[in-house]
């Protein structure tokens, strides 16, 4: 691996880890644009580079989520009752996304979908709309369906699910710090289910870059993961020192920037 690519991946991992802890993100909202850019510069076809970026991003969440959730748990921010309720649906939704939908949909379409859902999440967070005081998280069936949506959307755009799960939980009157901590905990089952499906669906791919196993670019995954696990705890601690409104604004501005990039990427690949 060239030194420049290593440094770019290391910087990405450093920022991703901090943002994962700070906002409950698995980091995919940053990694997908960066990885698709790097893979494209390595000569990987545009459509394949987008898909590989999504899957490689998802694989790093296996490491990042463990690091950030430990700190959130120590600070009492993880709602484990919600993790248990949402996880079954997440597994089902992730399986549908990684084994079926992802393979059938073009990379350009996935990039545009990424931009749409990220833009919506950014708008919701920026407006800081207050939910009805009586609204609560749904029961088992409702959480199963909610988990399915989170798992499916995460698998299609390579994110840890915070861009869906944090707004959904906040809409149901879950405190923002609890929503972020719980989202960090949900990152692991999301990544595990999706990566398993992606490995299976990518076994027959050709013309892959060096070090790739199916859709996963292993060198990129390892470098980002190594750096991100070091900085995730710092982000998690910072999350508990920031006021709620400012935390939501940070989240929304971060998402807008990435949505614009991926819209452009998708339009160019179409």
SS (H, E, C) 50-101: HHHHHHHHHHHHHHHHHHHHHHHHHCCCCCHHHHHHHHHHHHHHHHHHHHHH
Residue 86: strand, helix, or coil: helix
How many folded domains does the chain comprise? 1
Query: Residue 200 pLDDT > 70, yes or no?
Result: yes
Contact 126, 247 (CB under 8 A): no
Kindly state the average pLDDT of the residues 12-31. 73
Residues 6+ apart with CB under 8 A from 210: 219
Locate the DSSP E strands across the chain: 212-213, 216-217
- Please give the pLDDT value at position 89: 92
Tokens found for residue 49: 């580079």
Kindly state the average pLDDT of the residues 40-61. 85
Question: Which pLDDT band, with edges at 50, 70 and 90, does 25 fall under?
Answer: low
pTM to 2 decimal places: 0.70
Kindly state the average pLDDT of the residues 148-166. 76
Alpha-carbon span 56 to 16, nearest angstrom? 13
What is the DSSP track for 189-237? HHHHHHHHHHHHHTTT--SPPTTEETTEEHHHHHHHHHHHHHHHHHHHH
The boundaries of the domain holding residue 72 are: 3-269
Please write the tens of the pLDDT for every residue from 75-105.
Answer: 888 999 999 999 899 889 888 887 778 777 7
Task: Give the lowest-confidence range in 43-47, 95-99, 199-203, 260-264.
Answer: 260-264
Query: Residue 172 pLDDT > 70, yes or no?
Result: yes
Contact 259, 46 (CB under 8 A): no
- Please give the pLDDT value at position 24: 59
Match 């949900």 to its residue by tokens.
186
Contact 137, 174 (CB under 8 A): yes
Partnered with residue 212 across adjacent β-strands are: 217
- Please give the pLDDT value at position 119: 80
Tokens found for residue 269: 């690949």
Please write the tens of the pLDDT for every residue from 131-143.
Answer: 566 678 888 899 9
- For the four alpha carbons of 23, 29, 30 and 31, in that order, the dihedral sign comes to positive
- More confident site: 134 or 2: 2
Question: Which pLDDT band, with edges at 50, 70 and 90, does 125 fall under?
Answer: low
Query: Residue 247 pLDDT > 70, yes or no?
Result: no
Alpha-carbon span 21 to 67, nearest angstrom? 8
Please write the tens of the pLDDT for every residue from 97-108.
Answer: 877 787 777 777
Q: What are the helix and strand counts (H, E) for the chain?
A: 11, 2
């Amino acid at each position: 691996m060239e030194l420049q690519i290593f440094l770019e991946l290391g910087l990405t991992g450093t920022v991703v880890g901090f943002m994962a802890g700070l906002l409950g993100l698995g980091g995919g909202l940053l990694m997908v644009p960066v990885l698709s850019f790097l893979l494209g510069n390595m000569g990987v076809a545009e459509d394949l580079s987008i898909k590989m970026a999504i899957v490689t991003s998802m694989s790093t969440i296996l490491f990042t989520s463990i690091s950030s959730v430990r700190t959130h748990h120590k600070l009492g921010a993880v709602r484990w009752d919600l993790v248990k309720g949402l996880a079954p649906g997440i597994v089902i939704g992730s399986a549908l996304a990684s084994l079926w939908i992802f393979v059938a949909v073009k990379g350009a379409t996935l990039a545009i979908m990424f931009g749409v859902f990220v833009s919506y999440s950014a708008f919701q967070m920026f407006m800081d709309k207050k939910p009805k005081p009586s609204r609560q998280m749904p029961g088992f069936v409702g959480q199963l369906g909610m988990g399915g949506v989170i798992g499916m959307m995460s698998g299609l755009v390579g994110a840890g699910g915070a861009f869906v799960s944090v707004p959904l939980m906040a809409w149901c009157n879950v405190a923002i710090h609890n929503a972020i901590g719980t989202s960090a905990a949900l990152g692991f089952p999301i990544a595990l289910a999706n990566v398993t499906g992606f490995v299976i669906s990518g076994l027959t791919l050709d013309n892959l870059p060096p070090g790739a196993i199916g859709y996963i670019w292993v060198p990129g995954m390892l470098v980002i993961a190594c750096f991100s696990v070091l900085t995730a705890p710092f982000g998690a601690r910072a999350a508990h020192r920031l006021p709620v409104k400012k935390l939501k604004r940070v989240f929304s501005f971060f998402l807008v920037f990435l949505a614009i990039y991926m819209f452009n990427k998708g339009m160019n690949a179409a």
